[in-house]
Amino acid sequence: MTIARVGLPYKKVAVFSFLVFSAVIAVSSLSVGQVAPRWEFYGGYSYLRFDSPTLGYVNWSNLNGFNGEVTFNITTRFAVVADGSGHYGNQLTVYNYMLGPQYALRRDKSKFFVHGFFGKAQNTVNIATSISNGFESVGRAFAAGGGYDRDLTPRFTFRVQADYLNTSTFGATQNDIRVSTGVVFHVGHIGRRPKL
């Protein structure tokens, strides 16, 4: 069953992408940190503004949940990230599992980063009908965003990050916003400290 649909909010996505890119340019003059952890393990609270009208709802949904990431820093700038999140609301459960590259700029105790992820979306609508207690759809997902880390101790860092999340489930495309904050745990190190 196909449905005629109005186009996606490409204009807003373009504006968002331009502002994130501008943010990276704004901080690109920072001197590059010479040391980075080899592994970063992130966990925190996540908020998802979910495009539920594409599933037949009246309004967008505000979902709450978690976000976790494992980052392997190849160099002090480039890394590979595995990202997983779960968000929950009235009748809705949204899981995303993604992988992708990250680019970071470090200075003193700060790290600015941008990333792009690709992977899977698993969305469930928990509504009761005469034949089912819910409906699940699995599709592709991609995300683009960035964030900021601030060292708290040599091992722990505070993080805040935001992503535009695009998923394809239930025969429609969802355009979502995800915002997350939490703590990063560091293991190992790479690079060397600059000579004084």
Question: Which span (38-46, 78-86, 104-112, 151-159) binds another protein, by CB under 8 A?
Answer: 104-112
Closer by beta carbon to another protein, 53 or else 188: 53
Is position 128 an interface residue for another protein (rule: CB under 8 A)?
Answer: yes
Residue from 99, 170, 183, 191 touching another protein (CB under 8 A): that is 170
- 3-state secondary structure string, 37-59? CCEEEEEEEEEEEECHHHHCCCC
d(CA 162, CA 148): 9
Q: Does 8 bind another protein (CB under 8 A)?
A: no
- Answer yes or no whether residue 3 interacts with another protein by CB under 8 A: yes
CA-based nearest residue to 87, from 96, 97, 78:
96
**Sequence letter at residue 110:** S
Q: Which residues contact 10 (CB under 8 A, 6 or more apart)?
A: none
Examine residue 90 and tell whether it contacts another protein (CB under 8 A).
yes
Looking at residue 93, the DSSP 8-state letter turns out to be E
Tell whether residue 162 is a contact of another protein (CB under 8 A). Answer: yes
CB of 158 to another protein, least distance (A): 13
Q: Is 30 in the site for another protein (CB under 8 A)?
A: yes
